[in-house]
A = this chain, B = another copy of it.
Amino acid sequence: MSDESGITRGRATAEMVAQRANVSRVAVSRAFNPHTSLKPEKRDLILRIAQELNYTPDRAARALVSGRSHLVGVIVPDVCSHWESQEIDALTTALQNEGFATLLFKTRTDYSMDEKLLAYMRGFNPDSVIAFVENVKPTTLARFLDRAVPIYVHYPYPGEADDEEAGPLHDRLNVLQRAGIEQAVALLQGYGAQRIAYVSGLGKSRANTAREQMLRTVMAERGLPPPVIAPSDYSYDMAYAATLDLFRIGQGADAIFAANDVGAFGVLDALRHELGLRVPEDVKVVGFDDIAQSHWKSYNLTTVKFDLAERVRALVRLILRRLNNPAAPALQETLQTRLVVRGTVG
């Protein structure tokens, strides 16, 4: 039987399927696009007959005609970072429902690699690309995109140099961090924290700069001295080491704000398991992201959340809006943050 091997076989045409299924040619193409509506029985019938005839719509061929690849490129430095893996998971599900597939590209934060990888990515001719400024600048990315208008996740902060407006056309998801960070600082202050340290993310990361600047601004507004900066890189291990330095070499702190939840886990483990300090009694800890692990009993972390589902919906909206109107000026979506209170402050 033809199932005995995966080697190339002949191709049937959509017309043959339509005829056998006694449906229109249009119904056949609709059946293969999860995004279009079609009676379930009808879709199942068409797909079953398509299988019998070994028919499949060839996207490579279709892409040449339609100029649509149905691929959405996602440029990430680290697929397995907790936050990113959760975002990619939700995004892939949402894109599948819209008839797109997620194409992963891993870039180093070291720019030198990017151009070679981007030249390579360009060949796949993605319909859209989601990127972060710290990984690839809009001006660089634009040179490698034939039609896709990239989407950048942006973290506006007070007094930032907004060089991007001048750059090539790109759409934006703006994540507003103020609300969540303000709530976090207010809670720490409410429990008497005076000396607040910031265990940072990667130095060159825009998100990190934005987070630190917003924290500075909010603390100044609330009459607190500027945060003590403990340089880290978003990783558990570096945050762990940075916390040891903060207390063994530096003056310590009575509260620590970590640039992300994974870093906060490193902070908590360093405080409890190596410095013998109690959380929240001796030191209060706040994270950023609210990843799935943050509710684990060993951490039970108080953290600033941006809603993953909302974030993914906003990204998908940007993709669809852009595809419907390729010539539109820069599109924007906005996302709020809020504090999720658990056991590490109190």
Contact = CB atoms under 8 A, between A and B. Distances in A.
Interface residues of A, number: 89
A60 interface: yes
A268 interface: yes
A3 B168 contact: yes
A250 to B, nearest CB: 21
A273 B292 contact: no
A139 interface: yes
A57 interface: yes
A41 to B, nearest CB: 13
Nearest to A273: B297
A204 interface: no
Contact of A125 (B3, B58, B269, B326): B58
Interface stretch (A114-122, A192-200, A217-225, A310-318): A114-122
Contacts of A93: 106
A298 interface: yes
Contacts of A298: 265, 268-269, 272-273, 298-299
Contacts of A148: 6
B57 A123 contact: yes
A106 B89 contact: yes
Given A149-B6, A168-B5, A47 B115 contact: yes
A170 B123 contact: no
Interface string A42-68: 010001001100101111111110010
A341 interface: no
A117 B93 CA distance: 11
A96 B296 CA distance: 34
Contacts of A287: none
A235 to B, nearest CB: 9
A121 B101 contact: yes
A327 interface: yes
Interface string A103-147: 111100000000111011111110000000000000100111111
A14 B238 CA distance: 46
Contacts of A168: 3-6
The 7 closest A-B pairs by CB, nearest first: A85-B85, A79-B89, A269-B297, A298-B298, A80-B89, A80-B85, A6-B149
21 contacts: A5-B168, A6-B142, A7-B169, A32-B120, A32-B123, A34-B120, A43-B116, A47-B115, A51-B143, A56-B122, A59-B125, A60-B61, A64-B64, A70-B124, A80-B86, A85-B85, A92-B104, A96-B105, A102-B103, A236-B293, A269-B296
